[in-house]
C-alpha cells in the first residue's frame, strides 16, 4: 500500500494585538488605562492617565453635577481622545467608559452622559454596585487562586472608595455575599465640613461614621472561624508602598501588619492635605482622601481581629480590561456564582427547589434548541435560568398572585453578578410565567427599553413552556428534543409514554409563545 505523507496542520494565524482603552469616571478623578489584548486573551497595559475632578463632592452633597464640572469632565475626555488617536484607537467598540457612584447618584446624570456624548461621541455607562462587584471579582480571582491560604479559606475583599465601600466575601472561589455600603472617603470629608470641627474632633467624628458601617458589615460577615482580608484601592496601595517601600512588586499580593497600618493611619489622619503631600510625596487628590480611607481599612481589620491583611494592586480598570478580553461574556464559573446566589435567595423563601431546578434545566434546554428563533446570547440564558429558579418565590407571601410577588422580591433583592436592570428583567420574566402577558399598563415592563422588553417576552414565553412540562411536579420529563415543522414546534419527550397532563398545561400556557415566536406547540410522547 502506498504510504501516506504525514498530515500537517495549518499554521496558526496570529493576529496583531488589539489596542483597547477603559475610562473610569470616579468621584475624585477620571482615569484611563490603555492596553493591548492578544489572541490568548492576555492583557498588557501600555499607558495610564489620571486627571482630578470634584464630581463626588457636589454629587454627594446636592445630588447634582454642576455645569462647570460637566464641562471639566468633557474637556478631560477630549484630551484622552487625542491620546487614544496616538495609539490608533478610533473605533468606539474598543473603548469602554464607565461612571461609578458620583455620576450614578446625580439626579442630572442623563444630562452629564448626554453632554459627554455630544462633545466626544463616547457613551458613558453608569454602573451600579453589582456591576462593580462583578468586575472586582473578575479582577481579583486570579490572585486569590494563586495564594493557597486565600484560595481555600474565607476571604473578605474590601475597597473603600470615594462614595462607597464595596465588600465581597469569598470562600474556596465561591462568592458567599456581596454588599455595598455608603461609607466613602469623600462622604466622610463632607461630614467633617458640615460639622465644622477642629483637628481635635476630626478623628472621633470619622470613627463614629465608620462604626455605623461596621454594624452593618458585622451582620453580613461573621467573624467566627478563620477570616482573611484583601484590601484594594488607591489609598491602601499608597499605604502599602509607604510601609514596604521597594519590597512590593506590582502584580503580587502584599502582606502588611495591621499594627503598622494603624500606626501610619494615626500619623496621617491628624495632618492637613498640604503636610501629607510634602511628607509622603503624594498628590493633592490622593492626600484629600488618604486619612479617612486608611482609618476605614484599619478599623475594619481590627474589628475582625486580624494581625495582617493582604493588599492587591488590581483596580476597576484591570477588571474592565479583563472583561473586554473575554468579550464581555460570562464564564461558566461566573454563571455558577450567579446561580448559587439565586438558590440562596430561593431557600430563604422556602421555594420548591426540586421543581424549580427541573424547570430551570428544561428552560436551558429549550433556550439552547431554540437559538435560531430567539437569537439571544449566553447572558440571556443565565437570566432565564435564574428566573426559572425563582419564578415561584412569591408563594410564601400569596399563592394566588405569587407571580406578582416574585417580581417585587427579585427586583428588590441583591443577587451577586446581576445589576439592578438585570434583576428587573429576571423579575419580569418570573412575573409573566403565568396569567397575563406583558401589557402597556404594566409600569415596570414599560420602564424597559424596546430591546429589553423583547428579551423579557422571549424569555417569559420559554419559561411558560418549561413550567408546563413539569406541571405534574414529578420531574419525569427531563430530556426534550425540539423540531420545527412549518409553523409548529414539536417537543419530543423520549422515554415518557403519557404526556396528557402536560399537554393540558401547554394549552393553557403556550399562547405567549405563539404570539412571540409565531409557532404553536405540540408535545409528543416518546416510544
Structural domain boundaries in the chain: 18-127, 130-323, 332-525
Say if residue 1's pLDDT is above 50: no
> Exposed, middle or buried by CB within 10 Å (0-12, 13-18, 19+), for 441?
exposed
Over pLDDT 90: what percentage of the chain?
73
Q: What HEC string does 283-346 produce?
A: CHHHHHHHHHHHHHHHHHHHHCCCCEEEECCCCHHHHHHHHHHCCCCCCHHHHHHHHHHHHHHH
pLDDT at residue 20 tops 60 = yes
Q: What distance in Å separates the CA atoms of residue 365 and residue 374, rounded to the nearest whole number?
A: 13
Helix (H) / strand (E) containing 96: strand 95-99
pLDDT category at 494 given cuts 50, 70, 90 is very high
Residue 191 has pLDDT above 90, yes or no: no
**Cα–Cα dist 158/133, whole Å:** 10
pLDDT for res 2: 37
Query: What are 386's three cell numbers?
Result: 435564574
Contacts of 91 (CB under 8 A, 6+ apart): none
Predicted confidence (pLDDT) per residue in 368-417, tens digit: 999 999 999 999 999 999 999 999 999 999 999 999 999 999 999 989 98
The DSSP annotation for 403-434 comes to HHHHHHHHHTS--TT--HHHHHHHHHHHHTTS
Q: Strand 254-257 relative to strand 488-493: parallel, antiparallel, unpaired? A: unpaired
Mean pLDDT score across all residues of the chain: 91
pLDDT score recorded for residue 526:
75
pLDDT of residue 25: 97
Task: Write the DSSP string, 13-33.
Answer: P-PPPEEEEEEEE-SSEEEEE
**Is residue 311 within 8 Å of residue 230, measured between CB atoms?**
yes
What band does 499 get if pLDDT is binned at 50, 70 and 90? very high
Largest CA distance in the chain: 97
C-beta separation of 289 from 189 below 8 A: yes
Residue showing cell 503580587: 252
Class of domain 332-525: mainly alpha
- Asked if residue 355 lies in contact with residue 471, where contact means CB atoms within 8 angstroms, the answer is no
| Higher pLDDT, residue 15 or 160 | 160
Q: What is the pLDDT of residue 6?
A: 45
CATH number of 130-323: 3.30.420.150
pLDDT of res. 224: 67
40-83 pLDDT per residue, tens: 778 999 999 999 998 998 999 899 999 999 999 999 999 999 99
Check: CB of residue 210 under 8 Å from CB of residue 302: no
The residue behind cell 446561580 is: 339
Q: Do the Cβ atoms of 62 and 107 come closer than 8 Å?
A: no
pLDDT at 4 over 50: no
Same fold, 18-127 and 130-323: yes
Sign of the CA dihedral with 145 first, then 417, 53, and 236 last: negative
Task: Provide the pLDDT for residue 243.
Answer: 95
CATH class of 18-127: alpha beta
- Confidence band of 3 (pLDDT split at 50, 70, 90): very low
Question: Would you say the pTM of this structure is higher than 0.85?
Answer: no
Terminal Cα distance for the chain, rounded: 48
**Tens-place pLDDT, residues 228-286:** 999 999 999 999 999 998 788 767 899 999 999 999 999 999 998 999 999 999 998 89
- Tens of pLDDT along 122-172? 999 999 888 888 888 888 888 898 888 898 889 999 999 999 999 999 988
Q: Rounded to an integer, what is the distance from CA 283 to the centroid of its chain? A: 30
List C-alpha distances in Å: 51 to 23, 31, 76, 79, 277.
11, 6, 7, 10, 17
Range 188-205 average pLDDT: 79
Q: What is the pLDDT of residue 246?
A: 79
What torsion, rounded to 10 degrees, do the Cα atoms 475, 481, 484, 487 define? -10
Local structure of residue 437 (DSSP, 8 states): P
**pLDDT, tens digit (0-9, with 9 covering 90-100), for 316-340:** 999 899 889 887 778 788 899 999 9
What integer pLDDT is reported at residue 225 of this predicted model?
66
Based on C-alpha coordinates, what's the Rg of the chain? Answer: 26
Amino acid at each position: 500500500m502506498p504510504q501516506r505523507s504525514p498530515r500537517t496542520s495549518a499554521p496558526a494565524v496570529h493576529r496583531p494585538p488589539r489596542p483597547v482603552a477603559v475610562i473610569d469616571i470616579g468621584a475624585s478623578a477620571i482615569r484611563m488605562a490603555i492596553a493591548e489584548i492578544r489572541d490568548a486573551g492576555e492583557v498588557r497595559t501600555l499607558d495610564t492617565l489620571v486627571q482630578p475632578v470634584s464630581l463626588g463632592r457636589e454629587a454627594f452633597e446636592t445630588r447634582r453635577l454642576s455645569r462647570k464640572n460637566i464641562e471639566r469632565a468633557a474637556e478631560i475626555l477630549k484630551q484622552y481622545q487625542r491620546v487614544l488617536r496616538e495609539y490608533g484607537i478610533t473605533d468606539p467598540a474598543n473603548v469602554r467608559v464607565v461612571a461609578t457612584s458620583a455620576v450614578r447618584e446625580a439626579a442630572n446624570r442623563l444630562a452629564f452622559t448626554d453632554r459627554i456624548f455630544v462633545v466626544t461621541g463616547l457613551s458613558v455607562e453608569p454602573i451600579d454596585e453589582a456591576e462593580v462587584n462583578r468586575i472586582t471579582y473578575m479582577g481579583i480571582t486570579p490572585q486569590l487562586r494563586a495564594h493557597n491560604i486565600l484560595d481555600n479559606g474565607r476571604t473578605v475583599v474590601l475597597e473603600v472608595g470615594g462614595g462607597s465601600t464595596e465588600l465581597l466575601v469569598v470562600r474556596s472561589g465561591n462568592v458567599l455575599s456581596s454588599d455595598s455600603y455608603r461609607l466613602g472617603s469623600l462622604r466622610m470629608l463632607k461630614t467633617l465640613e458640615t460639622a465644622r470641627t477642629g483637628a481635635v474632633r476630626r478623628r472621633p467624628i470619622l470613627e463614629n461614621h465608620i462604626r455605623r458601617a461596621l454594624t452593618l458589615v458585622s451582620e453580613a460577615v461573621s467573624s467566627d472561624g478563620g477570616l482573611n482580608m484583601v484590601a484594594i484601592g488607591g489609598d491602601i496601595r499608597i499605604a502599602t508602598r509607604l510601609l514596604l517601600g521597594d519590597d512590593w512588586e506590582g502584580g503580587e499580593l502584599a502582606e502588611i501588619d495591621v499594627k503598622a497600618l494603624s500606626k501610619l493611619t494615626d500619623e496621617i489622619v491628624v495632618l492637613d492635605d498640604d503636610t501629607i503631600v510634602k511628607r509622603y510625596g503624594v498628590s493633592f487628590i490622593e492626600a484629600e482622601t488618604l486619612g479617612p480611607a486608611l482609618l476605614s481599612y484599619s478599623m475594619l481589620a481590627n474589628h475582625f481581629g486580624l494581625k495582617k491583611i493582604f493588599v492587591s494592586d488590581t483596580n476597576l480598570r484591570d477588571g474592565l480590561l479583563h472583561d473586554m478580553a473575554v468579550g464581555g461574556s460570562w464564564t461558566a464559573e461566573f454563571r455558577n456564582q450567579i446561580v448559587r446566589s439565586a438558590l440562596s435567595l430561593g431557600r430563604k423563601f422556602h421555594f420548591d427547589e426540586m421543581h424549580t431546578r427541573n424547570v430551570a434545566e428544561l428552560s436551558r434546554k429549550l433556550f439552547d434548541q431554540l437559538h435560531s428563533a430567539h437569537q439571544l446570547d449566553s447572558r440571556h440564558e443565565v437570566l432565564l435560568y435564574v428566573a426559572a429558579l425563582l419564578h415561584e418565590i412569591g408563594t410564601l407571601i400569596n399563592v394566588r398572585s405569587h407571580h406578582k410577588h416574585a417580581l417585587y422580591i427579585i427586583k428588590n433583592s441583591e443577587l451577586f453578578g446581576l445589576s439592578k436592570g438585570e434583576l428587573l428583567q429576571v423579575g419580569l420574566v418570573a412575573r409573566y410565567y403565568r396569567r397575563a402577558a406583558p401589557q402597556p399598563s404594566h409600569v415596570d415592563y414599560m420602564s424597559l427599553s424596546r430591546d429589553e422588553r423583547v428579551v423579557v417576552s422571549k424569555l417569559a414565553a420559554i419559561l411558560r413552556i418549561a413550567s408546563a412540562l413539569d406541571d405534574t411536579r414529578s420531574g419525569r420529563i427531563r430530556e426534550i428534543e425540539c423540531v420545527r415543522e412549518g409553523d409548529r414546534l414539536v417537543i419530543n419527550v423520549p422515554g415518557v409514554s403519557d404526556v396528557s397532563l402536560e399537554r393540558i398545561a401547554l394549552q393553557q400556557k403556550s399562547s405567549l409563545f405563539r404570539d412571540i415566536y409565531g409557532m404553536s406547540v405540540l408535545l409528543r410522547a416518546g416510544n
